[in-house]
Amino acid sequence: MFYVTNLFIDRFKFINIKIFNLMSDTSNYSHNLFYINKFLKITSKIINEINKNLGWTLLFCQFGVIGFTNDVIEMLIKGSENSFLLLFYLLFFLLLVVLISFQCNRVEKCGEKISRICYKLHFLAEDEAIKQDLFVLAMYAKRWKPVFSAAGFNNINQSTLNFLFFAVVTNFVIILQFGNMTNNY
């Protein structure tokens, strides 16, 4: 996953350079515009395939973090000595989800940068045909923005970390409340 996301990031940086060169090099204008459109469309298809093939795995990794967190909290409250292995699994899944979230967020930001650059160049362009092409390219870039998802339930980016943090805190409070209730009876 990290290799693939780094490839996307590098390609998006290359496309950003191509877009800037689009304004200065008008000799290959139509070829470069075609190449950029093709890249955006193919990237969108590839990311959709990645979401289909890895989406459920990413979703189960998120559930693994929540589930192992619940188990570790329960074992720590009960004072169990066997919580070390669960803590190791929790840290492994947490690190995996955090790294994947940051990488997917980087790809998403690079994809958004293309449409921002196109909009900026659209306002700077003097030729009406180039202005129109840049506007259309910005719309395509926005429509085909690279977004990784966990089986369609949520997007994998930095908001995933917020979701996990609040889910873990909520479960921690619930476990503490149930632990206090069972100790009182």
What's the pLDDT at 179?
67
Residues in the chain: 185
Q: Mean pLDDT of all residues in the chain?
A: 84
Percentage of the chain with pLDDT > 70? 94
Percentage of the chain with pLDDT > 90? 19
Residue for token pair 């200065």: 24
Each residue's pLDDT tens digit, 104-163: 999 999 999 999 998 988 888 888 888 898 899 899 999 888 999 988 888 899 888 888
- Whether the pLDDT of residue 184 is over 60: the answer is no
Which residue has better confidence, 80 or 10? Answer: 10
Dihedral (Cα; 174, 180, 181, 184), 10-degree rounding: 180
CA of residue 163 relative to chain centroid, distance: 13
Predicted confidence band of residue 27 (pLDDT cuts 50, 70, 90): confident
What's the pLDDT at 46?
92
Dihedral (Cα; 142, 148, 154, 159), 10-degree rounding: -80
Stated pTM of the model: 0.80
What's the pLDDT at 170?
85
Q: Residue 114 carries which DSSP code?
A: H
